[in-house]
């Protein structure tokens, strides 16, 4: 009986040992299991097609260099919605968190915890403006300030530099869209060429297709004098074009803004859209993926005034606050839209 008891004790001890040996693997997720560099992309919103090429580019860059890539996103664009996803990435002991932020200042504490755990944090497509010290660097798709200036000029020109318009944006907290709207307002205040343009209202569709469509239809009803709609978000641009097309107002209401070629194509061809602008979203994701792997491998130290090679895209310069531009903006017209494949 004593020997049998000893055997049971040994079996129990072995089971406990195995449990504690496995726990780090379970806690570490795919990283601990594979022993590879893990990159986690916390996207802005689940199911938003704008981010699909960013995800594809990042995945291709990470996996081509032997890393493990995973993306995740909240259901809704809300200021705190990404916090539990970032916490999960910390728990999984990933090497790099890439983040397209829902807000500029609500995630500082959790990002600090990630960096304290040795995780590199890169914002992608948008930045936490005013809170840059809580991340390592930012990959922006292009020079957004110049994009705001150029896209407003595109809109104003289509309006013949006069008339009443609304802005259809995402959420009240969206850093990128708020910066674009500020640029529109500054251009109107400083450039006499825009003196005959009147901003009636800024509308918010929460980057939800149905709500954006409803907001546009309500604005058309509310403002019989409405001459134009400018949209600093791709979801809003599609919704605005659909609303104007549905009411047969394509010849009266100017619609421009930021949209992918794929979203814009039919509306450009039938004249509902007077133009759109964007950038190569696949390139944005791929440059971010290249940077993530370099940082995780310790092969590059991110610092203003330095540069690194982003694969086939070549030399990429790092600017103030560790910001870099993935590439130039794209001006999309009826004439060139078919040359784009995204």
Please report the pLDDT score of residue 50 as a whole number: 86
Reduced to 3 states (helix: H, G, I; strand: E, B; else coil), residue 231 is: strand
Task: Extract the tokens encoding 32.
Answer: 């601990």
Q: How far apart are CA 157 and CA 151, in angstroms?
A: 10
Please report the pLDDT score of residue 34 as a whole number: 59
- Domain edge (last residue) among 278, 295, 311: 278
Same-domain check for residues 51 and 81: yes
Task: Extract the tokens encoding 43.
Answer: 């996207």
Is residue 91 domain-resident?
A: yes
pTM across the whole model? 0.72
Same-domain check for residues 150 and 206: yes
**Closest listed residue to residue 129, CA positions, set 179, 76, 78:** 179
Strand order in the sheet with 254-258: 197-204, 163-169, 226-231, 254-258, 276-278, 330-332
Q: How far apart are CA 342 and CA 338, in angstroms?
A: 10
- Domain edge (last residue) among 219, 247, 278: 278
Is residue 60 domain-resident?
A: yes
Is residue 232 domain-resident?
A: yes
Please report the pLDDT score of residue 191 as a whole number: 96
Is residue 43 domain-resident?
A: yes
Burial 46-67 (b: 16+ CB within 10 A, else e): eebebbbbbbbbbbbbbeebeb
Same-domain check for residues 295 and 244: no
The distance from CA 281 to its chain's CA centroid, rounded to whole angstroms, is: 9
Same-domain check for residues 106 and 229: no
Same-domain check for residues 215 and 231: yes
Same-domain check for residues 257 and 152: yes
Please report the pLDDT score of residue 19 as a whole number: 42
Is residue 26 domain-resident?
A: no
Is residue 290 domain-resident?
A: yes
Same-domain check for residues 235 and 292: no
Same-domain check for residues 82 and 162: no
Same-domain check for residues 187 and 267: yes
Is residue 195 domain-resident?
A: yes
CATH (domain of 99): 3.40.50.2300
The distance from CA 261 to its chain's CA centroid, rounded to whole angstroms, is: 17
pLDDT averaged over 10-residue windows placed end to end, the chain, 342 residues: 44 43 38 75 92 96 97 94 98 98 95 98 95 98 93 97 98 92 98 98 96 98 98 96 97 95 93 92 96 97 96 96 94 88 72
Same-domain check for residues 163 and 267: yes
Is residue 8 domain-resident?
A: no
**Closest listed residue to residue 337, CA positions, set 268, 285, 273:** 268
Is the distance from CB of 217 to CB of 205 less than 8 angstroms?
no
Task: Extract the tokens encoding 146.
Answer: 């110049």
User: What is the residue range of 185's domain?
Assistant: 144-278
Same-domain check for residues 150 and 259: yes
Same-domain check for residues 115 and 165: no
Total domains present in the chain: 2
């Amino acid at each position: 009986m004593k020997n049998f008891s000893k055997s049971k004790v040994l079996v129990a001890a072995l089971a406990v040992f195995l449990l504690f040996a496995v726990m780090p693997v379970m806690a570490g997720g795919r990283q601990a299991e594979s022993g590879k560099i893990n990159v986690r992309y916390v996207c802005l919103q689940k199911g938003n097609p704008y981010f699909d090429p960013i995800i594809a580019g990042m995945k291709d860059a990470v996996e081509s260099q032997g890393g493990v890539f995973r993306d995740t996103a909240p259901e809704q664009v809300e200021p705190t919605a990404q916090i539990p996803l970032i916490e999960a990435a910390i728990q999984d002991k990933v090497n790099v968190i890439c983040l397209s932020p829902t807000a500029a200042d609500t995630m500082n504490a959790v990002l600090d915890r990630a960096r304290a755990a040795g995780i590199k944090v890169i914002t992608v497509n948008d930045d936490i403006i005013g809170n840059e010290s809580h991340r390592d660097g930012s990959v922006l798709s292009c020079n957004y300030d110049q994009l705001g200036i150029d896209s407003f000029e595109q809109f104003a020109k289509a309006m013949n530099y006069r008339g009443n318009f609304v802005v259809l944006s995402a959420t009240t907290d969206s850093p990128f869209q708020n910066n674009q709207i500020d640029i529109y307002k500054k251009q109107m205040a400083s450039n006499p060429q825009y003196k005959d343009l009147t901003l009636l209202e800024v509308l918010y569709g929460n980057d939800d297709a149905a709500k954006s469509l409803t907001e546009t239809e309500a604005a058309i009803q509310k403002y019989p004098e409405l001459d134009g709609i400018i949209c600093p978000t791709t979801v809003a641009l599609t919704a605005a074009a659909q609303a104007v097309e549905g009411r047969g107002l394509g010849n009266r209401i100017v619609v421009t803004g930021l949209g992918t070629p794929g979203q814009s194509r039919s509306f450009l061809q039938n004249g509902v859209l007077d133009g759109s602008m964007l950038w190569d979203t696949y390139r944005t994701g791929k440059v971010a993926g290249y940077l993530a792997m370099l940082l995780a491998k310790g092969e590059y130290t991110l610092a203003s005034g330095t540069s690194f090679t982003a694969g086939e895209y070549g030399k990429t310069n790092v600017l103030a606050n560790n910001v870099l531009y993935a590439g130039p903006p794209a001006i999309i017209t009826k004439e060139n839209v078919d040359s784009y494949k995204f």
